[in-house]
Structure 1
């Protein structure tokens, strides 16, 4: 239920009739209600150029509309709210959604759509959206049931000290403030990524616990300003000796949402989606929000 103020924020959700897209629509509905936002469901279709000796009356556009209407009925019931609208567009799904994200606060997609290969954990459309969208992208799996999430389940956010890590943290804090949810900020280190200050003392070999403690102190210092602006939100800062994707995926088991920046430290300049965010989007146990580097991290506008 939204409040009486006119919604000004736009949320876009991709719907193609698959179970993961229905889960995405449910998540988008919850987000829109929390943020008093408008919600637009987009179904994209294209002509299939195949030869058949038989006369076919099937219309891909009509089928797309039918799938969208059925999915909307499943999530909202027979009476659609005034702040929700449905759009059917011909074209390339990824291109249409990326273009739509230019004016959106958030783009929500299912992890897998029609035509995906069984061995892929992340569909090509959702992967392209996560890599190229102009807004944050939330990726939802079929089994993600927000009604089963405990009230104290945290929003987990990865922070590696980069500017994009700050974007992800700001977005997570703003979202948590709306939900009244706790936030868990995670930074990892490994033998091949030991903090530089420990390499400056010749002949001294620090213990793993010393390095972890120093990494956590750095995390506290670097995030203090942003965390301090959200005094009503419970924030836990965690440092761990682990590979970043491995640690974040493990912590996603008990999280309501995992938030990562689209690019972190050490990425190759030509890659639009970093390896950590890509692995998390593919394998996390909860929905994943990928925040682009240039995004204004304000889901509460």
Structure 2
């Protein structure tokens, strides 16, 4: 079986919304769904069982098990035939999801959560997860049921090649048009060069995905506001991020961080990893 779609849950409504998206993504890809809950309490050396004076089904471990049971139930309601695995993992959310991403084709996380897991978006953990995961990360945010094109940011560098490929694959399985957008400003380079960037970015991909209706777009605007504005009419925004061979020193650029926090549709971050330099 193909690598599964991985969803991180914490019991919040936002994480259940991530399960909804994860089910759809798994169904589109013809793969299974793996739902993970990071159980940090054992690291705190606190009691995990029910209180002596409380109900037998109480306690932190039962609570964690209920989070996974609710997520599994949600997935089954949406697609009874989908293969769903759940896993309760002792650890901190970022480390757990980054580690499990090595065996996944996509990580899906929600826009807000509870407790420590609330940082899985609109905060440092979302940014770090998108930078450290071993596969693309899809952050569920914006409109509940976004429609429109798959939008991919292109800048003329080699960093976005993986992002463009991911965007074409998403547009194909979603049966949606794809828009390759390049934001240009007079201080960033010549207009004649900027006009070629969107078309050059999709060269080769049109032939690989002949079913995708491709549109290219050049806007005279700074990149961050251009992408946030364009996201209002998109069903998915795909951005690339630079990595440096392995996990050491990875960061997301300001554009990726901005769209993670402000886009009006889900955002997929796809890392470009350059070969590590010889020691």
What TM bracket, shorter-length normalisation?
Answer: 0.7 to 0.9
**Counterpart of 1:255?**
234
The question of whether the paired residues in 2 share the 8 Å contact of 1:45 and 1:60 is answered with no
Q: TM-score, normalised by structure 1?
A: 0.78
The question of whether the paired residues in 1 share the 8 Å contact of 2:20 and 2:78 is answered with no
- What stretches of structure 2 of length at least 5 have no aligned partner? 275-279
Distance 1:31 1:117 in 2: 22
1:140–1:119 CA distance, 2 compared to 1 (3 A): closer
What is the total number of aligned residue pairs between the two structures? Answer: 262
Distance 2:154 2:4 in 1: 27
User: Which one of 16, 21, 32 corresponds to residue 15 of structure 2?
Assistant: 21
Distance 2:121 2:79 in 1: 34
**Counterpart of 1:201?**
none
1:154–1:125 CA distance, 2 compared to 1 (3 A): same
**Counterpart of 1:233?**
212
**Counterpart of 1:186?**
181
- TM-fit CA distance, 1:191: 3.0
Q: Are residues 1:276 and 2:255 paired?
A: yes
**Counterpart of 1:131?**
131
The question of whether the paired residues in 1 share the 8 Å contact of 2:168 and 2:212 is answered with yes
Q: SS state of the match for residue 293, structure 1? A: strand
The question of whether the paired residues in 1 share the 8 Å contact of 2:135 and 2:270 is answered with yes
- TM-fit CA distance, 1:294: 3.2
- What stretches of structure 1 of length at least 5 have no aligned partner? 1-6, 196-210, 296-301
The question of whether the paired residues in 1 share the 8 Å contact of 2:164 and 2:201 is answered with no
Distance 1:276 1:187 in 2: 13
Distance 2:78 2:30 in 1: 21
1:75–1:228 CA distance, 2 compared to 1 (3 A): same
- TM-fit CA distance, 1:144: 3.9
**Counterpart of 2:277?**
none
RMSD: 2.8
**Counterpart of 1:99?**
99
Q: SS state of the match for residue 251, structure 2? A: coil
**Counterpart of 2:3?**
9
The question of whether the paired residues in 1 share the 8 Å contact of 2:185 and 2:222 is answered with yes
Q: Are residues 1:45 and 2:39 paired?
A: yes
**Counterpart of 1:33?**
27
Stretch moving more, 161-170 or 70-79: 70-79
Deviations 1:1-47 (A, max 9, x none): xxxxxx42311100111121111110010011111111100011112
The question of whether the paired residues in 2 share the 8 Å contact of 1:116 and 1:123 is answered with no
Distance 2:102 2:36 in 1: 14
Q: Are residues 1:216 and 2:211 paired?
A: no
